[in-house]
Amino acid sequence: MESISVELLAICGSTRAGGNTDQMLQFAAEVARLKGASLKTLNLRDYNFAPSSTCGDCNYRETPCELTDDMALIIEQMRRADGIIYAVPVHGFGMGHLMQMFIERSGVCFLRFDRPLTNKVGGAVIIGRRYNHSNVHSQIVSNLLLNRMIIVGSGFPAVLHGGRPNEVWDDLEGLDSARRMVNRMIDMVRTIKHYLQLTDRSFLTYEEANERTLDKDQLFLSREQFI
């Protein structure tokens, strides 16, 4: 299956060019290359996108956001990728503001309408000096699940310690966790594509309904059936 192409997209939420998050993604791209896949990094700092505005209709509208910026371009790149890695720095004991703003805007204003990331393979890498990696990791994982993505277990979560320039290279255990995650993401993408080549149909459920507009009749089982 090594001949099956795999294109991963890493979304980098760091504001600091050349910092520890960028360096970790360079490492991840080399891991992917050695496995015959590609990993492209999309730096949110290079794009112009606004936070969700005060229009107030995000939860009620039935079409994507009408604000004119680069968000639609980012979403299109996510649609084309086989798998997506969210690379997030820890700032102020929480998620870096660029990624937080991106998750809010992309999710409510674009992704929730047709869930285009369904059944794509997802991963999370968290980089910070010392504290609160796990909370940020949990938030990203919850977002991957919300978007119906496939999360591949890879041993320890890919959380890396690094605050000062180049410090991430000292966290050998964190780098190894990131390496394992990237490799297993590629394996999962190839497994799914291989099955599709053999059967021409997906073995994964794709539910069309948007969870915000759920009809009780779609649940099939009535309350009385459980009593």
What are the pLDDT digits (tens) for 76-134?
Answer: 999 999 999 999 999 988 899 999 999 988 888 878 888 889 999 999 999 999 888 99
Domain for residue 199, yes or no?
A: yes
Domain for residue 76, yes or no?
A: yes
| Confidence band for 53, pLDDT divided at 50, 70 and 90 | low
Nearest to 119 by CA among 161, 141, 82, 149: 149
Domain for residue 2, yes or no?
A: no
pLDDT of amino acid 34: 96
Domain for residue 183, yes or no?
A: yes
Looking at the chain, the whole-number percentage of residues with pLDDT higher than 90 is 60
Looking at the chain, the whole-number percentage of residues with pLDDT higher than 70 is 83
Domain for residue 168, yes or no?
A: yes
**Structural domain span for residue 123:** 7-226
Domain for residue 1, yes or no?
A: no
Mean pLDDT of the chain: 87
- Number of folded domains that form the chain: 1
pLDDT of amino acid 174: 94
pLDDT of amino acid 215: 62
Query: Would you say residue 217 has pLDDT above 80?
Result: no
Query: Would you say residue 58 has pLDDT above 70?
Result: no
Contact residues for 162 (Cβ-Cβ < 8 A; gap 6+): 20, 24, 127, 128, 129, 168, 169, 170, 171
Query: Would you say residue 141 has pLDDT above 60?
Result: yes
Nearest to 149 by CA among 107, 195, 212, 200: 107
CATH of the domain at 206: 3.40.50.360
Domain for residue 140, yes or no?
A: yes
